[in-house]
């Protein structure tokens, strides 16, 4: 049973023209042997991207790539000619499988675009690639189940949308990763106040209550192992 608090201020940072990325785990030139993965999560990045900028066409394989758009909008274009715009408050899941090539850029004129992207190791490799987009109802509060599944058995993503003073129980799970995309949590028995960019990493923990200090949004992953 362990509780780890990963502060946003301790994340790795990549700055390139038109994009600022904060990495929760080792990525590319950023390496920390103590921050390689968490269960099936191998990458957890928070991107702030200027309009028209982002990631030009590149390849992926055997990854489940989950994108949550916090603000603005993201345009996905793949080598098969598919184009999708993912607006704020929506989720996209790319199952890269046997291999895909795609580009992700911020939609010009949509305002500051920020998105959080999680990469997970799938249970099966070499599967047929797929891409899906779905919104999360902004009127729903508490823990809202993500409307799209990923190819990892026992993996569940929920979006927590809280108003100031709302209480939430982070569920018991073999592994739990809870990331604040915006807002803040009050001081609790677990930690000093948490702010946007901070995360809980629980291993074999019971349910834990948290309380929002202001309007707050969290991405809560639970894993069966």
| The pLDDT value given to residue 164 | 96
| The pLDDT value given to residue 146 | 94
Q: CA angle, 88 as apex, 84 and 89 as ends, to 5°?
A: 105
- What the block records as the tokens of 109 is 């004129």
Judged by DSSP in three states, 160 sits in: strand
| The pLDDT value given to residue 152 | 97
With a pLDDT cut of 90, the percent of the chain lying above it is: 86
39-48 pLDDT per residue, tens: 999 999 999 9
Give the residue extent of every domain in the chain: 2-223
* Mean pLDDT of the region 15-36: 89
- The answer as to CATH 3.50.50.60 being correct for domain 2-223 is no
With a pLDDT cut of 70, the percent of the chain lying above it is: 100
Q: What is the CA radius of gyration of the chain?
A: 17
54-105 pLDDT per residue, tens: 999 999 999 999 999 999 999 999 988 899 999 999 999 999 999 999 999 9
Residues 6+ apart with CB under 8 A from 186: 193, 210, 211, 212, 213
């Amino acid at each position: 049973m362990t509780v780890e608090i990963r502060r946003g201020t301790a994340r790795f940072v990549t700055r390139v023209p038109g994009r600022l990325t904060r990495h929760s785990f080792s990525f590319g030139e950023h390496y920390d042997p103590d921050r390689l993965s968490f269960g099936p999560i191998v990458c957890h990045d928070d991107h702030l991207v200027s309009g028209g900028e982002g990631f030009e066409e590149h390849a992926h394989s055997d990854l489940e790539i989950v994108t949550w758009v916090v603000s603005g909008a993201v345009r996905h274009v793949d080598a098969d000619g598919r184009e999708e715009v993912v607006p704020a408050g929506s989720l996209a899941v790319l199952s890269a499988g046997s291999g895909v090539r795609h580009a992700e850029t911020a939609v010009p004129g949509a305002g500051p675009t920020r998105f959080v992207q999680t990469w997970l190791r799938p249970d099966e490799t070499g599967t047929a690639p797929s891409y899906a987009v779905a919104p999360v109802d902004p009127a729903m509060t508490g823990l809202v189940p993500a409307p799209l599944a990923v190819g990892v058995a026992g993996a569940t993503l929920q979006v927590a949308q809280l108003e100031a003073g709302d209480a939430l129980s982070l569920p018991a799970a073999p592994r739990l990763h809870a990331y604040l995309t915006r807002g803040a949590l009050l001081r609790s028995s677990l930690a000093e106040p948490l702010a946007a960019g901070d995360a809980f990493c629980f291993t074999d923990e019971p349910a834990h209550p948290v309380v929002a200090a202001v309007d707050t949004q969290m991405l809560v992953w639970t894993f069966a192992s």
